Structure 1
Amino acid sequence: MNLLLVEDEGKLVESLSHLLKMNGFVVDAALDGQTGMNLACTGLYDIIVLDRMLPQQDGISFLRLFRSLGHDTPILVLTAKDSPADRVEGLNAGADDYLTKPFFTDELIARLQTLVRRARKGKAPEIAIKAAGLILDPLRSQVVKGIETFHLTAKEASLLELLMRNCSQVVTKKQISDKIWGSHSKTAMANVDLYIHYLRKKLNIREIRTIRGVGYSLQGDNHVS
């Protein structure tokens, strides 16, 4: 399960990331609301854990904007604000659950697993992603182009998935590096150009367009299914 943790307390991010990974989650972290919003809108996450008090964009504004854009990813809000009015405001803004700090870690995991089960209930499992003439199976790291099938590394598959889910839109180098290598990686930005080169060469495609000084865009049919 892919989880996005949007929290500005570094020590809490570190401890929660470890806890969540030990319980089967693949965790990406953002330390401010704007970075969190950019990552959340990629559509790559099964669930989001959101702090209410954040720099750049607070949790309530995050919720309202995210829901107004049509995203239905489950969101659990973590906050020190525990009054009934605060909880009601968070739920009305679009939160699916609300947990106050300090909290029991077992309760957090149980609530997250419940939200994911609830969101997946009745939904057919996503087998493949289709965009720009490509069919990607992210679980197998396998992509079909025409009559050819290509096997990718996990990083290559994650990068291609990000581009396909944002087909015909510009994905910045920072968005790519944060999502694929993590916001704390010292080598991530240098890896972006290298892995774009790998994808172009391996798939023999020219549709990955370089937006000079900004990032990359996968050109083609922008209908992702």
Structure 2
Amino acid sequence: MTRVLIVEDDSDIRAMLARGLEAEGFSVGVAGCVDDALTSARDEAPGAVVLDITLPDGSGHDVCRSLREGGYPGPILFLSARDEVRDRAEGLALGADDYIVKPFVFDELLARLQTHLLRRKESDQPRTIVTAGKLVLDLNIRQVSLGDATARLTPRESELLALLMDKANQPVSRGDIFDKLWAGQGGLSLNVVDVYVGYLRTKLSDFVRFGGPVIVTVRGRGFMLDLRGQDFRH
């Protein structure tokens, strides 16, 4: 059950929202000021926050800023009587997902909340397939394919290839690769990047005859998955 934190100083609106969301199957927490909102967010870890801007001890902007700076990942929806474009822009710039103007229709707020929760759920799903041009990497079985050609990879090889595919045709420095894949593992140096790039080059060598990608060394800048072969692009 998803918990929604309602931050609203108007007790009537707060109660109406709580009743409506509970009727739709949500668990609800409430707060009427900045301090209570931040305490509830910390202690209850809500899945979403519905947030007024005008609060007795500060601004909903302060709540939104604090939550995002603290790494809060859930949807934040502003609910405010302020309807100027600059108010909406400021709220969204602080990291809010939506801005709903009072007076509002509960069904619209509910629909927007559910949409943002669904989007977050989908974005939290781990990737299983990575593509770059016609190159396809299945992270579940650690297999890369191009047409009928396939190659099986080790876990670390598949992580490295996924990184290069995400930055296809752009150089990625040794340092960035090392930080993403080997940071915190003692006893290793940047040379481990060169070793694994060598492994990948060997496994991708059969793809070259199909116009497949090559991993090139860009002097002074790192490594790049080059997808610019005519056959591979088309």
Q: What pairs up with 1:85-96 in 2 under 5 angstroms?
A: 85-96=86-97
Look up the match of 2:122. 121
Question: What is the one-letter code of the residue matched to 1:98?
Answer: Y
Deviation at 1:56, TM superposition (A): 1.7
Look up the match of 1:44. 45
Query: Are 1:21 and 2:18 matched, yes or no?
Result: no
Q: Structure 2: how far apart are the matches of 1:57 and 1:69? A: 18
Look up the match of 2:3. 2
Q: Deviations over 1:133-190 (max 9, x none)?
A: xxxxxxxxxxxxxxxxxxxxxxxxxxxxxxxxxxxxxxxxxxxxxxxxxxxxxxxxxx
Query: 4+ residue stretches of structure 1 with deviation over 3 A?
Result: none
**More displaced 10-residue stretch of structure 1: 115-124 or 103-112:** 115-124
Q: What pairs up with 1:1-225 in 2 under 5 angstroms?
A: 1-42=2-43, 44-123=45-124
SS state at 2:124 partner: coil
SS state at 1:36 partner: helix
Q: Deviations over 1:32-77 (max 9, x none)?
A: 1110011112362110000010122311111112111121221000
Structure 2 length as normaliser, TM-score?
Answer: 0.51
Contact 1:41 1:71 in 2 (8 A): no
Q: How has the CA–CA distance of structure 1 residues 43 and 21 changed in structure 2, closer, same or farther, with 3 Å as cutoff? A: closer
Question: What is the one-letter code of the residue matched to 2:51?
Answer: L
Q: How has the CA–CA distance of structure 1 residues 112 and 93 changed in structure 2, closer, same or farther, with 3 Å as cutoff? A: same
Question: What is the one-letter code of the residue matched to 1:53?
Answer: T
SS state at 1:45 partner: coil
Q: How has the CA–CA distance of structure 1 residues 43 and 10 changed in structure 2, closer, same or farther, with 3 Å as cutoff? A: closer
Question: What is the one-letter code of the residue matched to 1:76?
Answer: L
Deviation at 1:124, TM superposition (A): 5.1
Look up the match of 2:136. none
**Structure with the greater relative contact order (CA < 8 A, sep ≥ 6): 1 or 2?**
1
Q: Deviations over 1:60-116 (max 9, x none)?
A: 111112111121221000000001111000000111100000011110000000011
SS state at 1:103 partner: coil
Q: Percent identity, please.
A: 39
Give the superposed CA RMSD. Answer: 1.5
Computing the radius of gyration from Cα coordinates, the structure with the larger value is: 2
Gaps in structure 1 of 5+ consecutive residues: 126-225
Q: Structure 1: how far apart are the matches of 2:44 and 2:71? A: 11
Structure 1 length as normaliser, TM-score?
Answer: 0.53
Q: Structure 1: how far apart are the matches of 2:100 and 2:26? A: 18
Q: Structure 2: how far apart are the matches of 1:100 and 1:119? A: 23
Q: Structure 1: how far apart are the matches of 2:44 and 2:19? A: 23
Q: Structure 1: how far apart are the matches of 2:73 and 2:56? A: 23
Question: What is the one-letter code of the residue matched to 1:38?
Answer: T
